[in-house]
Chains A and B, each alone.
Chain A
Amino acid sequence: MQSNETKWLEAARHGDAQAFSRLVEMYSKPVFNLCYRMLGNGQDAEDAAQESFLRAFRALHRYDPNRKFATWLLSIAANYCIDQHRRVRPPIVSLDDDNTDEVPERSAGPEKRTVQRETKDQVQKLLNNLSPKDRAAMILFYWYEYSYIEIARELAITESALKARMHRARRSLAAIWQEAQAQPLFAQRSVYEKPIP
């Protein structure tokens, strides 16, 4: 796998789009998942993921082969999504027009699927309360198991600033969760419509 990746990367660096599309296939899931968690809906996530790959292909001459390709790629996607948030505020998560696939779990019965769907809704609603940079940090930490040093480097902030941000984000999420648990209309609460200042 690694040697294939190196081979495709080398070809792509010389402008071979076919080779790069192999890398697109290989990394479409992690990049898409990151964009989905950042932007909150399938359509925007697809667009952001496609654009991230396009930017990566054009910036391949700047890629340092000593660095892990996936890390470099995900940092492009994360920063692109942060920029998108700055430009236009994305709509609140729409769960009905979701054209994405969950990574399938064979044993999931109807009850389990319902629980999974509820979990998905809650996770996305919680994430929507964070600022784009905080959200990126949390996603890279919990879904991609990046270390603080790696996240700080990718988001161009110091490690101490990142730790402070994540501490603040965790407390915010815990507070929102605690409040939401106390009220029945979790899904319709306005608290999810704007980030905590």
Chain B
Amino acid sequence: MKNQFLDPETPEEAVMLDKAWLQVEELFFAARHKAPAAGFAYRWQARWLQAERRQERVRKQWEWAANLMAVGLLVAVLTIGALAALGQPFFSAVFSGLVSLFASLITFMRVNLTVLAAIPLSAWLAFSAGCGLLLAAWTIMFRRAVVSKE
């Protein structure tokens, strides 16, 4: 939409726009500050207490969930172990499978640690510097992209 006031083409239009702006500015200066209804700080305290209670409730729920999961896992492992010890072939297979999975995980981590420990400090430093430079370059490009959007 072509708006003569937004895109003044003649000096007269520009002057009219300037005058209009001065009137708007006067309105802004004349507008007084708004104040909240009385008791704002009391209402804030009540809200804060409510938010605290809600946060505490959520924290407790998470604690319960984590504890339940830990207990459930322990019970499951113990049950499978007990059933395996009693000579049930299926549970025996599941239990030994779990044990070998954990063993493989530990071996995998140990091998990784051995390989990582063999890398010299200078190589680590060079790698970290490279990562840092890439991160910095990305941050600068991202910032520029955001600013150019503005």
Contacts and interface: CB of A to CB of B under 8 A. Distances in A.
Contacts of A7: none
Contacts of B37: 42, 46, 99-101
Interface of B: 3, 5-6, 16-18, 20-21, 23-25, 27-38, 40-41, 43-45, 47-48, 51, 147, 150
A170 B21 CA distance: 7
A119 B40 contact: no
A120 B28 CA distance: 9
Grouping DSSP codes into helix (H, G, I), strand (E, B) and loop, the A interface class, with mixed when no group exceeds half, is: helix
Nearest to A22: B41
A175 B34 CA distance: 26
Interface in A139-187: 142-143, 157-158, 161, 165, 170-175, 177-179, 181
B56 to A, nearest CB: 14
B34 A21 contact: no
A123 B48 contact: no
B21 A174 contact: yes
B24 A24 contact: no
What band does the interface of chain A fall in when counting residues whose beta carbon is under 8 Å from B?
35 or more
Contacts, number: 127
Interface string A93-120: 0000001111101000000000010011
A49 to B, nearest CB: 7
A42 B35 CA distance: 9
Q: Which of B18, B41, B44 has the most CB of A within 10 A?
A: B44
Nearest to A171: B6
B34 A57 contact: no
A28 B20 contact: no
10 contacts: A17-B45, A24-B41, A29-B35, A50-B44, A99-B37, A119-B30, A123-B28, A170-B21, A172-B6, A174-B18
A158 B150 contact: yes
A174 B5 contact: yes
Grouping DSSP codes into helix (H, G, I), strand (E, B) and loop, the B interface class, with mixed when no group exceeds half, is: helix
Given A103-B35, A174-B5, A21 B21 contact: no
Given A161-B150, A175-B6, A45 B34 contact: yes
B41 A21 contact: yes
Interface string A14-57: 00010001101100111011001100001001100110011001
A126 interface: yes
Contacts of B27: 119, 122-123, 126
B34 A101 contact: yes
Given A50-B47, A175-B3, A29 B23 contact: no
A123 B150 contact: no
Nearest to A168: B6
B141 to A, nearest CB: 16
A53 to B, nearest CB: 5
A61 B18 CA distance: 46
B41 A32 contact: no
A57 B18 CA distance: 43
Contacts of B28: 123, 138, 142-143
A18 B30 CA distance: 36
